[in-house]
Structure 1
Amino acid sequence: MADPVKILVTGASGFLGGHLVDGALSQGHQVRALVRPGSDAVRLGSLPGVELVTGDLTDGDSLRRAAEGCGAVLHSAARVVDHGSRAQFEAANVTGTQRLLAAARSAGARRFVFVSSPSALMRVREGDRFGIDENTPYPRRWFNLYCETKAVAEQHVRAADGPEFTTCAVRPRGIWGPRDHAGFLPRMVDAMRAGRLPDLSGGKPVLVSLCHVDNAVDACLRAALAPAGQVGGKAYFVADREETDLWPFLARVGALFDCPPPAPRIPLLLGRGLAAAVETGWHLRHRSTAGGTDATPPLSRYMMALLTRSATYDTTAARRDFGYAAPRTQADGLRALREWVNEAGGVAAWTAGPAARARTAAPVGTAPAGPASDHTEQGNTQS
């Protein structure tokens, strides 16, 4: 697959999916972009070499139309929130992935790359973990439905690998960068701007692996083009070169936009109790929506775990099997982020979130697309 191919990208109107489209085009590939009805596809439609197909992971016919004639699939669409019913998560993350696998294989695609998450291995109770590699087994009990359904979907993808249909998964963590309006970084900056972000570290270093969106794109495209025998049926951690002490990093990003640093510092036990109380109260207030709201809890047990547990990942396997080397450094990524935020209208426009931007930009009566299907690995710090 060294020659240019037609690549189907799901979640193309979202953060990572949009960058996957750009990356594929820059390498000379044709792109078919799957977008949900009502999604904002203006930017995608303006890109030469992009064919838009309207569809949904719940609609097998639309997936078959989207996959027809494509040599590779980059599957980034997912439900990336920490609330909702089991049926919602399974429909989006498990059944939708199974439908897309079937459609891609039936259409003759030769490669299927699934954007997974390190959260697929996240347990309810565990402490700091360093240098996690692909030998780490799936847990018997996952932290939440998002973690569980990403893991189950990943296992379906890996099991589908075969001689004429090569499948693999990449696991970027904490994707960040330009055009992200709903992920962990704009949410943290928005809270710092308002003086509402306490330091939840408990005074200890929280060392994490993050992944700039350009690095995630590089890994996905390398996995799509690597020899089948090297990647088939495997899953790979991908991350930035740097290990990051999370809370000083957040303060550094906030300072780029004149935000006060996170304060006051809250003891870990108190923070965990606060997260449990906030999450429980939020679910009680939104019980009537049965998880259908696009809003997310301002703080949850899952978010608290991601913000207070050290978790670093070994990317040796990705480097060995498809030459991944994290082309974008963190310092360069921060410079580019600041430039993009200024060009996009400033920090307030960046952190407004997709719903607020859609209400401003969409015609009266147009329902904005929610975050559940059009982007992945950005709704939380992991993701």
Structure 2
Amino acid sequence: MKALVTGAAGFLGGHLVEMLVERGDEVRAFIQHGQDPTFLQTLSGVEVIQGDLTDRTSLKCAVQGIQRVYHVAAKTGPWGPEAAYEAVNVRGVLDLIAAAMEAGVQRIVHTSSITVYGHHLRGVITEDNPYHAEDNPYSRTKISSEHLIFQRVKEHGAPVVIIRPAWIYGPRDTASFGRFVKLVESGKGFILGNGRNIVPVVYVRDVAQGLIKAGDAGNHAVGRAYTIANDQRVTQEDYLNLIADELHVPHLTRQYPYSAAYLAGRIAETIWKVKDPQRQTPPPVSTYGITLLGGDQRFSIDRARQELGYNPEFDVKRGVAEGVAWYLNRESRTTRQNEAVSSGT
């Protein structure tokens, strides 16, 4: 099987490439200009190409000779110019689908997000829950792209399956998991509210498994969306204190009221919109981050289990242990490198 992975230099994309190689697929790794290809170049038989999701010519080149496309790349985060999100998350997606169909690609797996359900949730959320756009361009463009994908499936027979991952964590995640581990390690970690809310964490290789199974699934999966999460009910307190246990540091005791933190995020966003209408720099706190950590978010994975054969393999204890081991190894390497530089060796 010859597969293309977009966003291959990223956290999820890198793990997906690794797992595809492990099962014997030929992989073409699509990365943005300027991204570091070093890790991908260590994997046997991976073809690394550079391109741009907003450049139709590079997309057409990327899909030539490909049987499956795993579209992982996206402009993420809740803050930035709307036009930049539109260019990558909407127009880039449609251009990739068009190029892939023209090249005869058999299956396209599009990575969306649980953000399409909104952040203020009640009860257990299934794929039948309605869209709810939050006040950020990431949420809006993820919903917009899904609408247009379903339209392409219906009107043009686009062979697309949509995967909606929950809050991904694990080794090589410097943007989220690594930041939380550092906070807990330094004694600056905190709990929002009483800490008993369910956090929708899912280990990175389980998400990659879901993407692969969506690629392998029969035609019944085309035009369907699947939430990929861990159905183990993990509270915020459980998650953060498991990190503390792996670091051998005390459990978190500092608590902040959830409502006050959310209000602070809303005020910060309002001020930043006035100060920086182009959204070039993010505020110090956002409602997106507050609801992700402090909100109660429960998701059903019954559809993915039944229709894709998806089954999470990493419970949170094992996943956190793997992630913290990566973090400690990374910190140790950084310390040794800094010591070598300071000693002149």
Question: Taking structure 2 as the reference length, what is the TM-score of the superposition?
Answer: 0.89
Q: Which residue of 2 aligns with 1:97?
A: 93
Q: 2:294: which partner in 1?
A: 308
- 1:90-169 residue pairs with structure 2 within 5 A? 90-122=86-118, 126=120, 128-139=121-132, 141-161=133-153, 165-169=158-162
Q: CA deviation at 1:182?
A: 0.9
Residue 240 of structure 1: which of 230, 233, 238 is its match? 230
Secondary structure at the aligned position of 1:208 is classed as: coil
1:291 counterpart residue number: 279
Q: 1:155 to 1:348 in 2, by over 3 A?
A: farther
Does the 8 A contact of 2:190 with 2:256 survive in 1?
A: yes
Q: Distance in 1 between matches of 2:244 and 2:265?
A: 22
> What's the counterpart of residue 214 of structure 1?
205
Counterpart of 1:212 in structure 2: which amino acid? Y
Deviation at 1:274, TM superposition (A): 2.1
Partner secondary structure for residue 343 of structure 1 = helix
Superimposed CA distance per residue, residues 46-86 of structure 1 (whole angstroms, 9 cap, x where no aligned partner):
32221111101111100000011101110111111111121
Match of 1:42 among 38, 43, 47: 38
**Aligned residue type for 1:267:** P
Equivalent residue number for residue 332 of structure 1: 318
Q: Which deviations, in whole Å up to 9, do the C-alpha atoms of 1:312-356 show, x marking residues without a partner?
A: 11111111111001122222222322332233234988xxxxxxx
Quick one: structure 1 residues 130 and 324, their matched pair in 2 at CA, closer, same or farther if it must change by over 3 Å?
A: same
Higher mean displacement: 217-226 or 241-250: 241-250
Amino acid at match of 2:240: L
Structure (1/2) with the larger helix percentage: 2
Indicate if the aligned counterparts of 2:30 and 2:49 stay in contact, CA closer than 8 A.
yes
SS of structure 1 residue aligned to 2:320: helix
Contact 1:341/1:347 (8 A) holds in 2: no
Q: 1:33 to 1:197 in 2, by over 3 A?
A: same
Which sections of structure 2, spanning at least 5 residues, go unmatched? 336-340
What is the letter of the counterpart of residue 261 of structure 2? G
Structure 1 residue 279: Cα displacement: 3.7
CA distance in 1, matches of 2:270, 2:252: 24
Would you say the 8 A contact 1:159–1:233 is kept in 2?
Answer: no
Letter in 2 for 1:133: T
- Residues 11, 17 of structure 1: 8 Å contact kept: yes
Which amino acid is the alignment partner of residue 150 of structure 1?
K
- Give the letter aligned to residue 279 of structure 2: G
Long gaps (5+) in structure 1: 350-359, 361-383
1:276 maps onto 2:272 in alignment: no
Q: Aligned in 2, Cα 1:189/1:345: closer, same or farther, shift over 3 Å?
A: closer
Q: Quote the offset at 1:17 in angstroms.
A: 0.3
2:16 to 2, 20, 40: 20
In structure 2, the partner of 1:318 is 304
1:195 Cα deviation after fit = 4.0
Are the counterparts in 2 of residues 114 and 154 from structure 1 also a CA contact under 8 Å?
A: no
Q: Deviation per CA, 1:185-217: give whole Å up to 9, x if none.
A: 2222233344444321x2252113221011001
Match for residue 224 of structure 1 among 190, 215, 237: 215
Cα deviations across residues 21-55 of structure 1 (Å, max 9, x unaligned)? Answer: 01111111110111111100011123222111110
Counterpart of 2:239 in structure 1 is 249
Count residues in correspondence: 335
**Which letter does structure 2 place at the counterpart of 1:311?**
Q
Backbone CA RMSD of aligned residues: 2.3
- Residue matched to 1:172: 165
Cα displacement (A) at 1:92: 1.5
Give the superposition deviation at 1:142.
Answer: 3.1
C-alpha deviation, 1:277, in angstroms: 3.4
Looking at structure 2, the residues matched to 104 and 234 of structure 1 have their Cα atoms a distance apart, in angstroms, of 18
Give the deviation of 1:164 after TM superposition: 6.4
Between the aligned partners of 1:346 and 1:206, the Cα distance in structure 2 is 33
**Structure 2 partner of 1:78:** 74
Q: 1:333 to 1:192 in 2, by over 3 A?
A: closer
- Give how far 1:241 is off: 3.7
Could you give the per-residue CA deviations for residues 192-247 of structure 1, whole angstroms, max 9, x where no partner exists?
344444321x225211322101100110000001111x201000011124111013
Contact 1:199 1:263 in 2 (8 A): yes
Q: What is the distance in 1 between the residues matched to 2:95 and 2:255? A: 46
Counterpart of 2:180?
188
Q: Is the 8 A contact 2:269 2:283 kept in 1?
A: yes
Is contact 2:242–2:320 with CA below 8 Å preserved after alignment? no
- Secondary structure of 1:129's counterpart equals coil
TM-score (norm 1): 0.81
- For 1:348 and 1:300, the matched residues in 2 are separated by 30
